[in-house]
Amino acid sequence: MNEGTLYIIVGHYGSGKTEISVNLARRLRAEGKDVLIGDLDILNPYFRSREKAQELEQLGIRVVSSVLGNDSLDDQPSISEEIYAFFRDDARERILDVGGNPEGIRILRGFARTRGLPRRYELLMVVNANRPSTRTVQQVLHFAKQLEQSSGAGITGLINNTHLLRETSAEDVLRGDELVREVSRQMRVPVRFTTYIEELSEELKNRPLAGRQMPLYLNMRPEWL
């Protein structure tokens, strides 16, 4: 049996980890993969991947979140038992959207202790160099260390998602690229993706950006935001 990968997406509030989680799920599904996406953010009630459950399931992507169901508006800190499937070796591609601070990611430590992590997993930290707490290399390194201590797992890769929503410029992305390259060098982990809004695709497609380029369709933000 071919093994799928568990992608655990973490990052500071406002980094764009939920947007990336949803886009990665859609991308993998478009490649013909069997995909699960899990909403493991039990602290932040805003911009959760479960909000797009209906759209994603129409594409054949299974969404797992609260015991109360994906459509529930009750924000109790509870998760479905189906989430345990993410921590087994499995042929499916699995994506976990996890809380955006050390407290939110601590839930991973419990799963790692009781279930263990599958053989194929990636713990990917999303970096937005426009956020006040991740503007400098030292800030990003400090935050990464906090996440690793809280989760009990090592970060395996970085994602440059330096953005200002629809006001993002190519210069923002390039500045973020410089930042994550240096973080990558000091942490000795690769940059897996550089992401940016689709409108910048033509401008950035031939730039030597770190990692794989992944233009983003803004699933989580309505046009008026």
Residue 47 has pLDDT above 50, yes or no: no
Domains of the chain by residue range: 6-216
Confidence of residue 48 (pLDDT cuts 50, 70, 90): low
3 state SS for the chain: CCCCCEEEEEECCCCCHHHHHHHHHHHHHHCCCCEEEEEECCCCCCCCHHHHHHHHHHCCCEEECCCCCCCCCCCCCCCCHHHHHHHCCCCCEEEEEECCCHHHHCHHHHHHHHCCCCCCEEEEEEECCCCHHHCCHHHHHHHHHHHHHHHCCCCCEEEECCCECECCCHHHHHHHHHHHHHHHHHHCCCEEEEEEEHHHHHHHCCCCCCCEEEEECCCCCCCCC
pLDDT for residue 175: 97
> What superfamily would CATH give domain 6-216?
P-loop containing nucleotide triphosphate hydrolases (3.40.50.300)
pLDDT for residue 78: 58
pLDDT for residue 46: 45
pLDDT for residue 1: 53
Q: pLDDT digit string (tens) for 49-101?
A: 667 778 888 999 999 875 455 454 445 555 677 888 888 888 999 999 987 77
Q: Percentage of the chain with pLDDT > 90?
A: 55
Q: pLDDT digit string (tens) for 174-225?
A: 999 999 999 999 999 999 999 999 999 999 988 999 999 999 988 655 453 4
**Average pLDDT for the chain:** 85
Residue 136 has pLDDT above 70, yes or no: yes
Question: What is the pLDDT averaged over residues 92-113?
Answer: 82
